């Protein structure tokens, strides 16, 4: 997130100096309109399902093709009449070209070695010849085909589906193909439907559509519609499309072959008494790459491209465009980008920015962006042997503050509306129960569509946000929704209360995070959270957490309390005489005897003194080992010498047993 971009650089915390980082995106977004759909007197759970069947029959498009295209366009959501960043509307994401503005981009001056930007706001792709104009699924064209006013297709989901079906049929006819009942005959029409700018992305899109047809899908939409696509496993995959003659990607790009990726480099330059905007390294030779950090931009992508080309600003490794999932790389993965607010995490991570605003998830967090991101993360995780779990693939909002006084400045994106459950499904590492419901560890796992905690602040301070599916679960001081929320003394050192503001992380946990159980009482579960019990509602009928196996750490016998850190630094005598190591800064939270926190891995202690150089700076390694733990909404570290490792039991003990009985 770029509300205040913070990058730890030599001797100071640097903040964004350009308004491009602080772009007021909310002014560019329309109000969220709640508008009726056709057939409002029909049962809510049948309306959209029937619309797909009726439109498929009317326009002779296989229903599976129509439904799968719609899923890839919007996951069947209508977004209550609000357009996407690309000006798309409704479950078919039909683009109103009258609303699409050309991106304002800052071109490098003549002679600058950086690539010039194409019309998409990224370095121009080479897969499609420049003379070819690819039209998106045009809302006005769809309206003409079905003889309906364009305005209706923006707000009426049934009309929107009819328009999408008509466009698919028209495209099939233009290709000289019959309106076949065999879905496999529609691959080329599907590839052209979204107006993708390059052959690689178009093929990946169509492949995703047909993979979904084979697999099937069921989902409750944001509007409460229950939609099912039966599996058709006999539909054959399409042969892979060969790259266009002469197509190539920049040599710097590190991306899977099925993604369209470009390069727009971040500058490594000295200026005044400092430098920017990343560090040279030789990862993973000098340091392991252990984490991938998921960000959102809190700005439109063209302004972020300006930011990443400014040496006085921060940097990140990749940007992903909302409208079509296009990937642009800015920093080589072997080098260290300044993206997380923590030098320690930066040194061991890859940062990926997603175009979007956390307060407007339906408008910006598109299915195509999710899928491109998941492909990229799978590729990077395999390359660097990064575990696909929530202690290694995490949000900017989960990055630990390096010191106690930086806690209030840490960021909160991608926020409570990022669908972690869906994202890990796409990663091929689904989040699920690995133990019985009475286990010592739980994984937070609410049903995203059903889970709609109240939030404020999406459209102004204190203003209630429209109900929306969420990955977040709220925490209370007692097993009662009328009880006070859990407080975060680090985030609000003046003793202010936690709130329901969308940017206030003080009293919530997130999907995929794992915690040690502290207590249970009826429909409520308590976990250890920042040194205290935190309660959340977890009814058996609609659980918000499931049982998990794993390891926990607890203070060694004889220690009443152990310090918790935001980084794993070497011991004092590990530093050479010419390197001044940073002072330890324990976080202001207790970790007392009897408490337990989940760990997925141990980490080595390290520090890199930063300076502008033609070669990577040397890394100082310590003998001290640490455990990374899920301590609160953010991760944290404890010294291995301070704690014992305890394995969770899959099922709790006899009645009356409490996992925290030794520490009460």
The CATH number that applies at residue 197 is 1.10.530
Q: How much is the pLDDT for 576?
A: 94
| C-alpha to C-alpha distance for 409 and 4, rounded to whole angstroms | 8
Closest CA to 122 of 300, 264, 269: 264
Strand partners, 89: 94
What is residue 494's predicted lDDT score, i.e. its pLDDT?
Answer: 84
Asked whether residue 490 is domain-assigned, the answer is yes
Q: What is the pLDDT of residues 336-369, one digit of tens each?
A: 999 999 999 999 999 999 999 999 887 788 899 9
Q: Which backbone phi and psi does 250 adopt, to 5 degrees? A: -55, 145
Quote the CA–CA distance of 457 and 82 in Å, as a whole number. 18
Instruction: Give yes or no for a contact between 302 and 322, defined as CB atoms under 8 angstroms apart.
Output: no
CB 442 within 8 A of CB 548: yes
Question: Rounded to 5 degrees, what angle do the CA atoms 344, 472, 551 make?
Answer: 55
377 and 446 inside one domain: yes
Strands 349-354 and 291-296: parallel
64 domain residue, yes or no: yes
Q: Which helix (DSSP H) or strand (DSSP E) does residue 464 occupy?
A: strand 460-464
CB contact set of 382 (below 8 Å; sequence gap of 6+): none
CB atoms within 10 A of CB 339: 30
> What's the number of CA atoms in the CB half-sphere (13 Å) around residue 159?
24
pLDDT score, position 409 = 94
Identify the CA nearest to 292 among candidates 204, 187, 374, 195. Answer: 374
Q: What is the DSSP letter of 346?
A: H
Q: Which residue range forms the structural domain that includes residue 46?
A: 42-103+113-229
Q: Is residue 135 part of a domain?
A: yes
CATH number of 376's domain: 3.40.80.10
> Taking the mean position of all CA atoms in its chain, how far away is CA 316?
15
Overall number of domains in the chain: 3
φ/ψ bin of 373: left (φ > 0), alpha (ψ from -120 to 50), beta (otherwise)? alpha
Would you state the pLDDT for residue 369? 94
Q: Strand, helix or coil at 544?
A: coil
Q: Which of 507, 532, 552 lies at the terminal end of a domain, its last residue?
A: 552
C-alpha span between 202 and 208 (Å, rounded):
10
Question: Are 277 and 312 within 8 A, CB to CB?
Answer: yes
First to last CA, the chain: 39
* pLDDT value of position 43: 46
Burial class (CB in 10 A: 0-12, 13-18, 19+), 555: buried
Q: How far is CA 535 from CA 507, 545, 641, 647, 656, in A?
A: 10, 12, 30, 23, 18
Cβ proximity of 428 and 402 under 8 Å:
no
In contact, 55 and 165? CB cutoff 8 Å: yes
175 assigned to some structural domain: yes
Q: Does some domain include residue 653?
A: no
| Same domain membership, residue 15 and residue 80 | no
* pLDDT score of 243: 54
Confidence at residue 123, expressed as pLDDT on a 0 to 100 scale: 36
- Indicate the SS3 state at residue 139: helix
Contact 154, 89 (CB under 8 A): yes
CA–CA dist 298, 107 (Å, integer): 22
| Torsions phi, psi for 607 (to 5 deg) | -155, 140
With CA atoms as reference, report the closest residue to 331 among 340, 319, 343, 322.
Answer: 319
CA distances from 283 to 15, 95, 346, 348, 521 (A): 26, 42, 12, 8, 48
pLDDT score at 247 = 55
Burial of 463 (0-12, 13-18, 19+ CB in 10 A): exposed
Coil, helix or strand at residue 349:
strand
Where does a domain end: 522, 552, 582? Answer: 552
Point out which residues pair with 306 in neighbouring strands. Answer: none
Kindly report the CA angle at 304 between 298 and 310, in degrees rounded to 5? Answer: 135
- 50 closest CA partner among 61, 42, 59: 42
* Cα 614 to Cα 269, 329, 428, 457, distances in angstroms: 10, 21, 39, 45
**Residues with Cβ within 8 Å of residue 110, at least 6 apart in sequence:** none
Are 278 and 336 within one domain? yes
Same domain, 16 and 71: no
Same domain, 542 and 567: no
Identify any residues that bridge with 270 across adjacent strands, giving them in sequence order.
275
Same domain, 132 and 64: yes
Q: Give yes or no: residues 516 and 635 share one domain.
A: no
Residue 523 lies in a domain: yes
pLDDT of 651 reads: 53
Name, in order, each residue with C-beta under 8 angstroms of 21's C-beta and a sequence gap of 6 or more. Answer: 2, 4, 5, 299, 303, 307, 313, 314
Compute the distance between CA of residue 23 and CA of residue 337 in angstroms, rounded to an integer: 22
**Does 382 share its domain with 508?**
yes
Quick one: which of 259, 326, 373, 395 has its CA closest to 85? 326
Reference 643, options 552, 532, 548; nearest CA is 552
Q: Give the chain's residues under pLDDT 50.
A: 1-43, 101-134, 244-246, 652-664
What is the three-class DSSP state of 148? Answer: coil
Nearest to residue 581, comparing CAs of 568, 590, 591, 572?
572
Whole-angstrom CA distances from 88 to 240, 327, 364 are 28, 20, 11
Digit-coded pLDDT (tens) for 118-151: 333 333 333 322 333 346 899 999 999 999 999 9
**In contact, 453 and 472? CB cutoff 8 Å:** yes
Looking at the fold, whether 578 and 529 belong to one and the same domain comes out as: no
In a domain, 198, yes or no: yes
Q: How far apart are CA 609 and CA 620, in angstroms?
A: 8
Examine the domain organization and report whether 141 and 195 are in the same domain. Answer: yes
Residue 375 lies in a domain: yes
Q: 576 and 543: one domain?
A: no
Assess contact for 91 and 74: CB atoms under 8 A: yes
Task: Say if residue 541 is in the same domain as residue 568.
Answer: no
HSE at residue 148, side-chain half, CA atoms within 13 A, is: 21
CA 314 to CA 317: how far, in whole Å? Answer: 11
> Where in 248-300 does DSSP place strands (E)?
261-263, 269-271, 274-276, 278-279, 291-296
399: left (phi over 0), alpha (psi -120 to 50) or beta: beta
């Amino acid at each position: 997130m770029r509300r205040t971009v913070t990058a730890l650089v030599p001797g100071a915390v640097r903040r964004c100096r350009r308004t491009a980082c602080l772009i007021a995106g909310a002014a560019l977004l329309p109000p969220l309109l709640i508008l009726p759909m056709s057939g409002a007197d029909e049962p809510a759970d049948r309306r959209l399902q029937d619309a797909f069947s009726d439109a498929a029959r009317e326009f002779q498009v296989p229903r599976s093709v129509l439904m799968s295209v719609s899923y890839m366009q919007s996951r069947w959501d209508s977004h209550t009449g609000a357009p996407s960043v690309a000006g798309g509307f409704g479950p078919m994401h039909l683009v109103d070209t009258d609303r699409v503005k050309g991106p304002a981009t800052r071109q490098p001056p003549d002679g600058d070695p950086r690539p010039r930007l194409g019309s998409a706001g990224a370095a121009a792709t080479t897969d499609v010849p420049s003379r070819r104009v690819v039209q998106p699924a045009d809302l006005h064209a769809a309206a003409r085909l079905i003889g309906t006013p364009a305005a209706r297709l923006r707000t009426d989901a049934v009309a929107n589906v009819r328009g999408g079906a008509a466009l698919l049929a028209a495209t099939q006819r233009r290709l000289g193909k019959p309106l076949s009942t065999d879905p496999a005959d529609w691959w080329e029409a599907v590839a052209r439907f979204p107006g993708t700018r390059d052959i690689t992305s178009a093929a990946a899109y169509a492949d995703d559509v047909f993979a979904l047809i084979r697999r099937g899908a069921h989902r409750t939409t944001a509007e409460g519609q229950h939609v099912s696509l039966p599996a058709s496993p006999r539909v054959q995959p399409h042969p892979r499309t060969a790259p266009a003659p002469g197509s190539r990607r920049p040599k710097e790009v590190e991306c899977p072959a099925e993604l369209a990726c470009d390069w727009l480099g971040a500058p490594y330059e000295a200026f005044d008494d400092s430098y920017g905007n990343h560090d040279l390294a030789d990862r993973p030779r000098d340091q392991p790459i252990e984490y991938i950090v998921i960000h959102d931009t809190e700005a439109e992508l063209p302004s972020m491209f300006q930011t990443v080309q400014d040496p006085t600003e921060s940097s990140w490794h990749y940007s992903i465009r909302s409208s079509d999932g296009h990937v642009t790389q800015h920093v080589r993965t072997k080098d260290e980008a300044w993206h997380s607010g923590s030098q320690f995490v930066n040194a061991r991570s890859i940062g990926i920015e997603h175009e979007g605003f956390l307060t407007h998830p339906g408008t910006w967090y598109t299915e195509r962006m999710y899928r491109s991101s998941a492909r990229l993360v799978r590729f990077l995780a395999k390359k660097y042997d990064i575990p696909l779990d929530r202690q290694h693939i995490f949000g900017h909002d989960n990055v630990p503050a390096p010191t106690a006084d930086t806690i209030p400045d840490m960021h909160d994106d991608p926020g409570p509306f990022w669908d972690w459950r869906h994202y890990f499904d796409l990663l091929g590492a689904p989040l699920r129960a690995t133990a019985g419901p009475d286990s010592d560890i739980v994984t937070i796992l609410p049903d995203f569509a059903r889970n709609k905690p109240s939030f404020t602040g999406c459209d102004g301070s204190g203003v209630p946000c429209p109900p929306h599916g969420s990955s977040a679960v709220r925490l209370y001081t007692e097993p009662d929704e009328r009880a006070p929320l859990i407080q975060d003394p680090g985030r609000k050192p003046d003793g202010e209360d936690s709130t329901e503001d969308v940017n206030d992380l003080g009293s919530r946990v997130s999907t995929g995070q794992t915690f040690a159980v502290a207590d249970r009482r009826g429909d409520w579960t308590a976990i250890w959270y920042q040194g205290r019990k935190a309660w959340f509602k977890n009814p058996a009928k609609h659980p918000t957490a499931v049982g998990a196996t794993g390891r926990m750490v607890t203070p060694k016998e004889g220690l009443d309390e152990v310090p918790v850190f935001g980084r794993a630094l070497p011991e004092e005598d590990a530093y050479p005489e010419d390197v001044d190591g940073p002072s330890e800064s324990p976080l202001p939270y207790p970790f007392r005897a009897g408490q337990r926190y989940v760990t997925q891995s141990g980490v080595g202690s390290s520090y890199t003194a930063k300076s502008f150089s033609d070669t990577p700076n040397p890394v100082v390694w310590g003998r001290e080992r640490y455990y990374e733990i899920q301590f609160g909404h953010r991760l944290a570290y404890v010294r291995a010498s301070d704690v014992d490792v305890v394995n969770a039991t899959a099922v709790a003990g006899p009645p009356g047993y409490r996992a925290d009985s030794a520490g009460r």
